[in-house]
Amino acid sequence: MEWKNRCYLTQCGKTFIDISYVVPERIISRKGQPGLNLILGVTKETIERNVLEPMRDFWGSSLVGEINSRNIARLFGEKVYCLGAEKITQVSKLRGAKFKYVYCDEIVDYNKEVFELLKSRLSLDYSVCDFTGNPSYPDHYIKKFIDSDVDVYCQSWTIFDNPFLSPRIVDELKREYQGSVYYDRYILGKWQRAEGIIYKSFADNPDLFTTDKIPQLSDITVGIDFGGTKSSHAFVASGHTAGYKEMYALMSERHNAENTTPSQIDKMSCDFVEKVIKKYGFVSHVFWDCEASVLGRGITKAINKQFPSVSVRPCIKPLIKDRIDLECRLIGLNRFFITNDCQTLKEALCNAVWNEEEEDERLDDGTSDIDSLDSWEYSFTERMRNYIY
């Protein structure tokens, strides 16, 4: 069994090399031999976006098919299983199978149990696994695996190793992550520990990002985080410009959650939406914490009754690391701005720090305002993909 690891970074050439040579060669050279082919991604959707779609553009749809209802795509005349590896439940889909070829996209984000089972399934003499990903923290299980005595061929590249990137693109990517842990990881290729202030560029000079000059907005969304015994109810309105070029935090509030009733929460939500509409003319969507369905259904009914044109639904919750990654990029590229009506969110951004005990997580011990950060993120997580281009 062989393991081939390429620790690719943003825009380092992963897509071109893998779709044009690595994956096709591995599949074709094992054609007719016993065993299954497998492509793993963080989700099935990321497999399509990161692997199959660019491969289809390069080789054509006759050689690279779509994923069917049985999680199978035909690639170069062979059946290839395509599974997401972010959840423990995916483990059951690997049991009992023997794989001759496995391609893992963004392996650092996989559930560890999926990876452990995968190792036992590569049991044929000609089994091989290619995996790629961005570096994370030094104690990550993938880093320990790479540094162990198993048969791993590892290549580590930086953004500067891609000769086809223009200097403008390189400078822009550097600015995206400047002042954050992601600069060391995604630009320099280091397995770097996250520590200290998360949004350092913002915290160093919040006035640089503060404005009351709001351009025409194509979309205004509200995020609501429900508080508990030790947290607060938080509300944040975000404005989005055409093409999602810029995001504006328009208004934020935070209310003590102690002894509040559902009807009071309904009123807080309606009052906040009304304030945003009065100042900016409209609200298109309201997203509430998807883990609080009872309170969520209550505010949905209340807001729909008072503001029938506003769509109200539960939020989408990507990984916190992915949310922070996007936020740091927007701040680094001067694509995020905040108004003077967002004092609670501004303070939350300035005070947010990494959790020293749990890698790639924000410290949530009551010393900083996580509620405002969560409500802000709920306001835009459904549009995260629109902001990445």
Q: Is 244 left (phi over 0), alpha (psi -120 to 50) or beta?
A: left
> Secondary structure of the chain: what % helix, strand, coil (to 5)?
40, 20, 35
Q: Is residue 242 part of a domain?
A: yes
Q: Is residue 249 part of a domain?
A: yes
For the chain, the domain total comes to 2
Nearest to 12 by CA among 172, 157, 225, 228: 157
Q: Are residues 211 and 129 in the same domain?
A: no
105-114, 216-225, 324-333: least confidently modelled range? 105-114
pLDDT reported for residue 8: 43
Residue that terminates a domain, selected from 105, 130, 161 = 161
Q: Is residue 270 part of a domain?
A: yes
Q: Are residues 226 and 111 in the same domain?
A: no
Q: Are residues 297 and 372 in the same domain?
A: yes
Task: State the CATH number of the domain containing residue 235.
Answer: 3.30.420.280
Rounded average pLDDT over 9-35: 82
Q: Are residues 88 and 204 in the same domain?
A: no
Task: State the CATH number of the domain containing residue 34.
Answer: 3.40.50.300
Q: Are residues 208 and 290 in the same domain?
A: yes
Q: Is residue 137 part of a domain?
A: yes
Name, in order, each residue with C-beta under 8 angstroms of 183's C-beta and a sequence gap of 6 or more: 174, 177
Q: Are residues 87 and 228 in the same domain?
A: no
Q: Considering the chain, what percentage of its residues have pLDDT values greater than 70?
A: 95
pLDDT digits (tens, 9 = 90+) for 290-327: 999 999 999 999 999 999 999 999 999 998 989 999 99
**What's the mean pLDDT when you consider all of the chain?**
90
Residue that terminates a domain, selected from 161, 187, 214 = 161
pLDDT digits (tens, 9 = 90+) for 350-372: 989 998 878 788 988 887 899 99
Q: Is residue 7 part of a domain?
A: yes
Are 115 and 107 a contacting pair, CB within 8 Å? Answer: yes
Residue that terminates a domain, selected from 161, 179, 210 = 161
- Written as six digits, the tokens of 275 are 């304030």
46-55, 162-171, 279-288: least confidently modelled range? 162-171
Q: For the chain, how far is it from start to end, CA to CA, in angstroms?
A: 37
Q: Is residue 175 part of a domain?
A: no
Q: How far is CA 127 from CA 4, 34, 61, 95, in A?
A: 11, 10, 27, 16
pTM for this entry: 0.69
Q: Are residues 134 and 213 in the same domain?
A: no
Name, in order, each residue with C-beta under 8 angstroms of 41's C-beta and a sequence gap of 6 or more: 47, 50, 51, 82, 83, 84, 85, 104, 105, 106
Rounded average pLDDT over 369-386: 95
Q: Is residue 176 part of a domain?
A: no
- Written as six digits, the tokens of 326 are 């996007």
Q: Are residues 258 and 120 in the same domain?
A: no
The parent domain of residue 240 ranges over: 200-387
